[in-house]
Structure 1
Amino acid sequence: MKQVIAGMGRLWPGVSVALSGLLFGSAVQAGCGPLADACQIDGGDYHIVLPDTGDEKALPAVMFLHGYGGSGEAALRNRAMVDGLNDRGYAVIAPTALPRNPGGPRSWAFLPDFGGRDESAFFEAVLADAEHRFNIDRKSVVLSGFSAGAFMVSYLACATPDQFAAYATIAGSFWRPQPESCTGPVRLMHTHGWRDEVVPLEGRYLGNRRFQQGDIFAGLELWRDTNGCTTHAPSHSGSEGGTLRRRWACGTGADIDVVLFDGGHRVPEGWAAWLADWFEDRPLSQ
């Protein structure tokens, strides 16, 4: 579906379409100004891309958290992801993390030792702003993230499972020691390349062994326990086209889907369709 620049038509009526072609070609970032500037709120900023659905209904959305050193604007350059979600009617909201140290790379404060911004409160402020400005359906938002963004998603889902409708992690789960328990059941989709060497499935040490990425499978065990799954065996499993899939259907609002693909540390090209199908309770796209 065609994407639109949010706010541009209101600021410069009649020229938004022409500018969109000049600035971004056929893929247009939505923002809060004529040059797709970030939407500024207390505590930070975010970018957003909207689908052109042709009606006035509130939009479902995926809030996508970038990886270490990234930004919301850079995350939206993944056209396969953004276009794929827009084509399914989802807005894509991309907040930007703050530098952990002055002048340093941006990353999310998912561990208490990191200090910095209260990310949960910031995401809540982003949602409130997007709901008001862009008619986002607050009850139909998936929080997703890649790498460091996925670590942030995991810890927030563990602590405040009801803050979002569902959670989707790519190439990241918990760090060691991982939480002993989580607050309540969640809907979770985890995607990982089995040749990932940046965040290996088994985890690895970082920072001269000061930090340790956790084992993805240990994290999934924690989620099965949290969701009250009565068995560790998956409800459904299968493989096709270079992907391995597992699902644990443990009750309403308590399902876990895992997609392992033949690749490294990246967002796989088919991920947008997988996410939309899963969130909408459809069989995952092949």
Structure 2
Amino acid sequence: MIRAAILAVVAAIAGQSAHAACADQDGACSTEMGEYHIELPKAENPPLVVFLHGYGGSGTGTMKNRGMVKPLLSRGYAVMAPEGLERANRPGVKSWNFYPGFGDRDETAFLTEVVQDAADKFGIDAERVILGGFSAGGFMVNYLACDAPERFSAYVPVSGGFWRPHPEACEGPIRMFHTHGWTDNVVPLEGRLLGGGRFHQGDIFAGLEIWRIANGCVDTKPSGFSTTGPFMRRYWSGCADGSALEFALFPGGHTVPKGWADMMVDWYEGLPGG
């Protein structure tokens, strides 16, 4: 019994480390600017989902979210989880440099670097790369899309938008699928104050207005509505050629919801060139 228990613990540890590896290599993949973890599907030259962890999380932790990772792999997508940088004033706490004072790394350059590294090493299709992220990772997705909309094929933030003051304008057009929980009280739909009022998370619907303008949409009114399981979805058409904007709301809190991966891939593959 004791031996069996020990073997079970060893197997669990081995399984966890496999979820944080550099494809079939031990440990994380390293580049000049940082590290990332990646898992590959059986298909050759696969598209890639890059998913950014939340505040205090890690790429290792992202890869342990098998409810998200396994559906993506089964659909033929490689999955990458880059590592954020440790905050200077919070040793051991990792996040992303999307706001002044949050770090020194050029995150757009870092994410461009790791995608190119994966293309060179593992043959991923660098023309079909989706950038997603949760919470602080979702904020990073929005800010990168705002500044460099052409850098990734599509943007799929979960539970993260902009901080106040909102950007006056964003470059565009983009293809974005934003997902958020109705009862999220960490990143509420209306935003919230942080740091004794020094920081203010933005309003998610105000962010969608910024994206409608960037996409050149002719009306603020959604063009249509649909449901996918618990997800209530709305989208805007009549926008710039090649753009896409959709919002999915689910009856939950601050989490990457079950079913998100397949829903997001269905959306992406339904886009022209997806």
**Corresponding position: 1:270 with 2:263:** no
Provide the residue aligned with 1:59 in structure 2: 46
Paired with 2:113 and 2:71, the residues of 1 have a C-alpha distance of: 26
Stretch moving more, 35-44 or 131-140? 35-44
CA drift at 1:242: 2.7
CA drift at 1:58: 1.1
Call closer, same or farther: CA 1:89–1:212 in 2, change over 3 Å.
Answer: same
Paired with 1:163 and 1:88, the residues of 2 have a C-alpha distance of: 23
Paired with 2:214 and 2:57, the residues of 1 have a C-alpha distance of: 31
Contact 1:100 1:109 in 2 (8 A): no
Paired with 2:153 and 2:11, the residues of 1 have a C-alpha distance of: 32
1:89-238 correspondence runs (5 A)? 89-101=76-88, 103-238=91-226
TM-score by length of 1: 0.86
SS in 2 for 1:253: coil
CA drift at 1:70: 0.7
Provide the residue aligned with 2:14 in structure 1: 23
Q: Which residue type is aligned with residue 69 of structure 1?
A: G
Contact 1:30 1:50 in 2 (8 A): no
Q: What is the RMSD computed on CA atoms of the aligned residues?
A: 2.0
* Length, aligned pairs only: 260
Structure 1: gaps spanning 5 or more residues: 1-18
CA drift at 1:30: 6.5
**Corresponding position: 1:75 with 2:48:** no
Deviations along 1:133-174, one digit per CA (max 9) or x if unpaired, are: 111100100000000000000000000000000100000000
Structure 2: gaps spanning 5 or more residues: 1-9
Deviations along 1:225-267, one digit per CA (max 9) or x if unpaired, are: 1100001111211335332100112243211111100100000
SS in 2 for 1:117: coil
SS in 1 for 2:126: strand
Paired with 2:82 and 2:138, the residues of 1 have a C-alpha distance of: 13
- Percent of aligned pairs with the same amino acid: 52
Contact 1:20 1:28 in 2 (8 A): no
CA drift at 1:20: 9.1
Q: Which residue type is aligned with residue 82 of structure 2?
A: P
Structure 1 ranges of 4+ moved more than 3 A: 19-22, 32-36
Deviations along 1:151-203, one digit per CA (max 9) or x if unpaired, are: 00000000000000010000000000010001111000000010001000000
TM-score by length of 2: 0.90
Of 219, 234, 255, the residue aligned with 2:244 is 255
